[in-house]
């Protein structure tokens, strides 16, 4: 068996065996299978897909490529939440402290940006002093004492995914249901939580462009979770426009802080309340209506925000030192009308180009840069109304590239729903 034979087999649309997938993953970790060979195989998978058994074998091979976390010594229900990635998606920064304020234990290992989508770890690293790497002992103690810890994936936890993640980001092989499902579920299962909740983004600014593919991804992940006896729930949400107003690391942290004080953008608050109330209802055996009321109380009284402060402080961060760029310019509407479309993908790519994300594995994130919308789809704008503020560092952007992301028409458009369905 050789990696060339495996690449040829997948190139010819044939399913791979468990032994072949194990050979590929083991060889990649040892260095015997080279990056360029892995990239070739990834492209063949993107083009020709994987069946359900192959996807499970890949998940299992990645899961067993390193250590697995045992959270049994932590009391209470351990909850993990993941998003498939979107533009302006700062949900974890808000949801994790909110759930912890109810007494749930959130032991979260997050990733960095992938493609045009932002990464939770990049956002947290915009907080001066915040440590994204903790020892196992520090991590376990913080989850037990504070109720929440959000760290980067450790070097020994699913190292195969860490390698594949970086390669997929820079080789145009992000958009693949088997690769996305195995990446997410291998990490979630290895992280040791009892309850896995996954936000599957759908639309222009997401990896899944339509509901059919989003449902397929959700069902694939819930099926994998079932095989490992893990409660796995997926929510399908709209990413045809950015979530909230802020796009970029420090800017999104600022918006998360406002949301934890009950003053976040309408769409962000709607999604947070829906996910949190579903999980609280499910884990505490109360109605969703009662859970919703309790969520609003935690937000409006500052209890949820206090939990964020506790988490950040425990990990060495200082929210008072959070900074955004002071090199700001305004993009204004060239005409009057209704905003009928905001190209989330286009804005995500612009944010990446000005330094909020990576174009190569070696790129350094500029945490203070980004974009802040001033209007959302459905809003009326007058001539010269501010559409967006752009926060720059050492890179520039063309105003017309930003304007191309906005569609303004004479007639209003019916706004699409934010939440499509929950697959439980």
Cα angle: 47, vertex 52, 58; to 5 degrees: 75
**Kind of pairing between the strands at 327-332 and 195-202:** unpaired
Minimal CA–CA distance to 271: which of 295, 305, 248? 295
The answer to whether 237 and 271 have CB atoms below 8 angstroms apart is yes
Six token digits for residue 23 = 């050979």
Residue 399 φ then ψ, to 5°: -60, -40
Please indicate whether residue 161 is annotated as part of the active site: yes
Spatial neighbors of 37 by CB under 8 A, at least 6 apart, are 3, 4, 7
C-alpha distances in Å from residue 108, one per residue of 6, 81, 82, 173, 217: 34, 7, 9, 25, 21
**Kind of pairing between the strands at 386-392 and 370-373:** antiparallel
Q: Which of 10, 81, 162, 187 is catalytic?
A: 187
Six token digits for residue 71 = 């959270």
Cα 325 from Cα 65, distance rounded (Å): 40
Please indicate whether residue 169 is annotated as part of the active site: no
The one-character DSSP state at 354 is: I
Cα 395 from Cα 355, distance rounded (Å): 7
The answer to whether 69 and 184 have CB atoms below 8 angstroms apart is no
Please indicate whether residue 168 is annotated as part of the active site: yes
Q: Which of 81, 168, 188, 298 is catalytic?
A: 168
Six token digits for residue 207 = 């990896």
Q: Which of 152, 183, 191, 277 is catalytic?
A: 183
Cα 129 from Cα 319, distance rounded (Å): 9
331, β-bridge pairs: 388
The answer to whether 146 and 186 have CB atoms below 8 angstroms apart is no
Residue 135 φ then ψ, to 5°: -70, 165
Compute how many other C-beta atoms are within 10 angstroms of the C-beta atom of residue 318. 12
Q: Which of 89, 122, 161, 267 is catalytic?
A: 161
Minimal CA–CA distance to 122: which of 299, 248, 258, 267? 248
Please indicate whether residue 82 is annotated as part of the active site: yes
Cα 255 from Cα 90, distance rounded (Å): 8
Please indicate whether residue 187 is annotated as part of the active site: yes
Q: Which of 82, 90, 274, 366 is catalytic?
A: 82
The answer to whether 383 and 335 have CB atoms below 8 angstroms apart is yes
Residue with tokens 């999104």: 252
Q: Which residues are catalytic?
A: 82, 161, 168, 183, 187
């Amino acid at each position: 068996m050789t990696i060339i034979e495996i690449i040829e087999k997948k190139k010819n649309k044939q399913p791979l065996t468990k032994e072949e997938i194990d050979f590929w993953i083991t060889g990649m970790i040892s260095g015997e299978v080279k990056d360029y060979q892995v990239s070739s195989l990834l492209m063949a998978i993107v083009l020709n897909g994987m069946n359900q058994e192959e996807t499970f074998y890949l998940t299992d091979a990645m899961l067993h490529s390193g250590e697995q976390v045992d959270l049994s010594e932590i009391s209470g229900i351990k909850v993990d939440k993941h998003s498939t990635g979107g533009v302006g998606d700062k949900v974890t920064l808000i949801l994790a402290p909110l759930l912890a304020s109810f007494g749930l234990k959130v032991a979260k290992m997050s990733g960095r940006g992938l493609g045009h989508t932002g990464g939770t770890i990049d956002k947290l690293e915009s907080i001066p002093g915040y440590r994204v790497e903790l020892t196992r002992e520090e991590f376990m103690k913080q989850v037990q004492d504070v109720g929440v810890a959000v760290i980067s994936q450790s070097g020994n936890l699913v190292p195969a995914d860490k390698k594949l993640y970086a390669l997929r980001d820079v080789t145009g092989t992000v958009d693949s249901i088997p690769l996305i499902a195995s990446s997410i579920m291998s990490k979630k299962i290895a992280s040791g939580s009892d309850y896995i909740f996954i936000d599957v983004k759908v639309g222009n600014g997401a990896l899944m462009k339509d509901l059919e593919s989003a449902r397929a991804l959700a069902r694939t992940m819930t099926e994998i979770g079932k095989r490992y006896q893990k409660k796995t729930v997926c929510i399908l949400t709209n990413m045809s426009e950015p979530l909230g107003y802020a796009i970029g690391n420090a800017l999104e942290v600022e918006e998360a802080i406002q949301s934890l004080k009950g003053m976040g953008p309408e769409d962000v608050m709607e999604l947070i309340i829906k996910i949190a109330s579903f999980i609280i209802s499910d884990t505490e055996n109360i109605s969703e209506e009662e859970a919703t009321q309790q969520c609003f109380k935690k937000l409006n009284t500052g209890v949820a925000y206090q939990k964020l402060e506790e988490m950040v402080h425990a990990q060495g961060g200082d929210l008072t030192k959070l900074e955004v760029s002071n090199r700001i310019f305004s993009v204004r509407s060239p005409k009057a009308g209704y905003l009928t479309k905001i190209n989330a993908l286009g804005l995500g790519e612009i944010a990446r180009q000005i330094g909020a994300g990576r174009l190569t594995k070696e790129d350094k994130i500029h945490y203070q840069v980004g974009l802040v919308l001033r209007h959302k789809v459905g809003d009326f704008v007058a001539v010269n109304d501010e559409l967006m503020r752009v926060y720059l560092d050492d890179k520039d952007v063309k105003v017309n590239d930003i304007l191309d992301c906005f569609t303004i028409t004479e007639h209003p458009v019916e706004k699409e729903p934010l939440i499509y369905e929950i697959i439980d």
